[in-house]
Amino acid sequence: MGQLLLILLLSIYLMLDYSRVNATLLGLFPRPWQPRVLEVSDLIGTAVGGYVRGQLVIATFIGVFVWLGLSVIGIPSAAAIGFLAGAFNIVPYLGPIIGALPAILLALTLPGALIKILLVIGVFVIANQIEGNFLSPYILSRTTDLHPVTVLVAILVGVGLLGFTGALLAVPTVALGKLLMQRYYFPSRIYTEGP
């Protein structure tokens, strides 16, 4: 959890001072390479930006869905729990648990606690099934210009190879690979004329 917080803080600082960091990193490359490095940097920005936009849309859906579901059940602080569920949804496996835990603890304090707990678990299971099976593939395919099947396969391969880190990096990496092929490989003589 400490590493996640450190990554978040580092990301915020990098975004606030992006132009200076970018100029410093660009200065590390020889001058003749710098235009190509800028091109690739733009492609990386496009791939990662699409992924982040998609994740924000998915997190918003999860937050609203959990908020409405818990409100119907009668769990106090449903809006705050919905916000937590949406915010932590980007963490595979751990996110739903972090979101559900406060709701379950609050359900314990209410009359008919067992039924409320089962309903809370039901809300989180339904939200995550919708997110994992429908929303993620569809929304990420739209924001990264990848086919939904490609998104699913990328996430599965990423999880299989690198676990949590692979799940986070899979879709932007595949999106970047597609952009690099479109920019450099398809227009090349190797592709158009053959080896």
Q: Is 75 helix (H, G, I), strand (E, B) or coil?
A: coil
Between the alpha carbon of residue 140 and those of residues 77, 87, 150, 178, 190, the distances in Å are 30, 17, 10, 14, 31
Task: Give the residue carrying structure tokens 């705050």.
Answer: 80
Here the tokens at position 53 are: 């936009």
Cα end-to-end span (Å), the chain: 50
Query: Alpha-carbon distance 192 to 53, whole Å?
Result: 34
- On the question of pLDDT at 1 being above 60, the answer is no
Which candidate, 147, 190, 185, places its Cα nearest to that of 43? 185
- What is the tens place of the pLDDT at every residue in 66-123? 999 999 999 998 999 999 888 888 766 667 788 889 999 999 988 988 999 999 999 9
User: What pLDDT is attached to residue 72?
Assistant: 93
Residue 8 binned pLDDT confidence (cut-offs 50, 70, 90): low
Lowest-confidence segment of 5-14, 20-29, 105-114 by average pLDDT: 5-14
Question: Which amino acid belongs to residue 4?
Answer: L
The model's pLDDT over 118-128, given as tens digits with 9 standing for 90+, comes to 999 999 999 98
Mean pLDDT, the chain, as a whole number? 83
DSSP 180-194: HIIIIITTSHHHHH-
